[in-house]
Structure 1
Amino acid sequence: MTSATSLFSPVEADLCVLTENLKQLIGARHPILYAAAEHLFGARGKRVRPAIVFLVARATMPNQGMTERHRRLAEITEMIHTASLVHDDVVDESEVRRGIPTVHSSFGSRVAVLAGDFLFAQSSWYLANLDNLQVVKLLSEVIKDFAEGEIQQGLNRFSIMSIEAYLEKSYYKTASLIANSAKAAAVLSDLPEAQTQHLYGYGRDFGLAFQIVDDILDFTGSIDSLGKPAGSDLKSGNLTAPVLYALEEKPYLEVLIEREFAQAGDLEQALALIKDSRGIERSRALAAHHAKAAIEHLSDLPISESRQALTKLADYVLSRLY
């Protein structure tokens, strides 16, 4: 299977600079925060979000070099993403992410919350210094959406929702950052509104496909590939597409969810019911629909290596399932 990082070859050098810059942007004035930042930015992340910013920048400015404002936007995007992960891990009490200990398990919850706050504050400061009001509005919306997504997830534990409500929550938690940062990159390239909106659409549909695939892998992946035990989302009451589709076929699943898997064997029974339904199959089709929609949004871009990489990246999201 093609790896995500191999698809980033047009912007590989840009991503190497980004990793070093991120550590420098945090600064050494706060030793514990700097240690936490090194821990975060040295993690085995795929850097999908900043890579998309770089690819959009290069695809929309094929005859010009990467601008410093595009580089800073990619750094801001990764800072916001990382800050949200730090806070997520505290809320979810996760001990491991990407196979390594989380910030709160290494440094304590207090430092983790402060590190997340610090990253959000730093990203906001650098964002303001881009001196582009439209970009400030786009990325500020993302930070609001993260909070909205977390609140929705917290309030709706073990609550059965519609697929539409699930997609809205997935947009807040995952797709908003990809959509708005892709559009922001196009704005910095001085593209007309119609084209910036298409790149927003690419990011939105890519992000939704990405999240749906992650939610499928929670049932089909291994602990090694997930970096956490399979079925973790279901156990914590986070009902995703495979569960919501399975409920239409397996009514007893609702009984198990309503009692929050309180009895011995409840969780195992629920997992068996989901795997015996068409929930995973229908979720794959939903992910494929959004991946295809993402690619269609690229049709107005000039043919380039970076546009091809954006197309292949949407295909790669689905290939993670096989």
Structure 2
Amino acid sequence: MIVILMARACNVHSNKEGVLLPAQRSIAMISEMIHTASLVHDEVIDDSDTRRGKNTINKLWGEKKAILAGDFILSAASMALARIGNNTVVSVLSQVIEDLVRGEFMQLGSKENENERFKHYLEKTFKKTASLIANSCKAVSILVNSDPEVHEIAYQYGRNVGIAFQLVDDVLDFTSCANRLGKPSAADLKLGLATGPVLFACQQFPELHAMIMRRFSSDGDVDRAWQYVLKVRRICVVYRQVNLMKTCPGAAFIKH
């Protein structure tokens, strides 16, 4: 939907009708196929049994068939991409697949230097999530406009939406229940992943550093890290309420 809306916006901006070009619709379909294939492979890597409350392909049919299914979807997407016949678009969307793989490799490691961790986390987030949206938005703009500045604007919009989406998703892993998420809560911690909330909590509770480096593998690490993150959340809520009461006389009444 994001890619379709970006395509229509670019068409109007280029003094064309908002109706989608066939190639733009194909890019939207290809983007969804790449996304789906990446999820199928992710479930195998994460050994997940459910996704959005339903059994995963690897749970139903086994890892081998799940991997082959993901590969098949990617091959179909590649064939559809080739049929568009625009070399620049092919190059842009091919970058997405490379980024997905590199992002997965980045997720396997942790930075020893605490100052580099958040940068590493954001770069991994871009490659695993935002690159798909950014490059897909850029691809549909290329088809109707030759201005590199327009291409960059479309790319940056997709990049920011993608990163914001993943940041919110990482927060929900700590603040929402499994029924709402469609996946088990604290799933990232159980996989040994230190997402944004954990990295912020580590600034307040340095004892998290050792847990991050051993990827929460010791007994009790997941529960302790969870509690630290929730403590930081409570501190932030209290801080916001105190500042709201200072700036808004009716804040206490509104709160109750």
Q: Give the TM-score range, shorter chain.
A: 0.7 to 0.9
For 1:1-322, what aligned pairs fall within 5 Å after superposition? 51-62=1-12, 63-156=17-110, 162-277=117-232
User: 1:279, 1:252 → 2: CA distance?
Assistant: 18
Q: Which amino acid aligns with 2:54?
A: I
Query: Where in structure 2 are there 5+ consecutive unaligned residues?
Result: 238-256
For the structure 1 residues 186 and 279, does the alpha-carbon distance in structure 2 shift closer, same or farther, using more than 3 Å as the test? Answer: farther
Match of 1:134, as an amino acid? T
CA contact (8 A) 2:194 2:212 kept: no
1:149 and 1:172 in contact (8 A); partners too: yes
Query: Is the 8 Å Cα contact of residues 118 and 199 (structure 2) preserved in structure 1?
Result: yes
Report if aligned partners of 1:245, 1:279 keep a CA contact under 8 Å in 2: no
Tell me which amino acid in the other structure corresponds to 1:88. Answer: D
**Structure 1-normalised TM-score?**
0.68
- What's the Cα RMSD here? 2.2
Deviations 1:42-98 (A, max 9, x none): xxxxxxxxx011101111223242111111111101010001101110000011111
Higher RCO (CA < 8 A, seq sep 6+): 1
C-alpha contact 2:189 2:216 (8 A) present in aligned 1: no
CA contact (8 A) 1:157 1:239 kept: no
**Greater Cα radius of gyration, structure 1 or 2:** 2
Distance in 1, Cα, partners of 2:103 & 2:182 = 22
Report the count of equivalent residues: 232
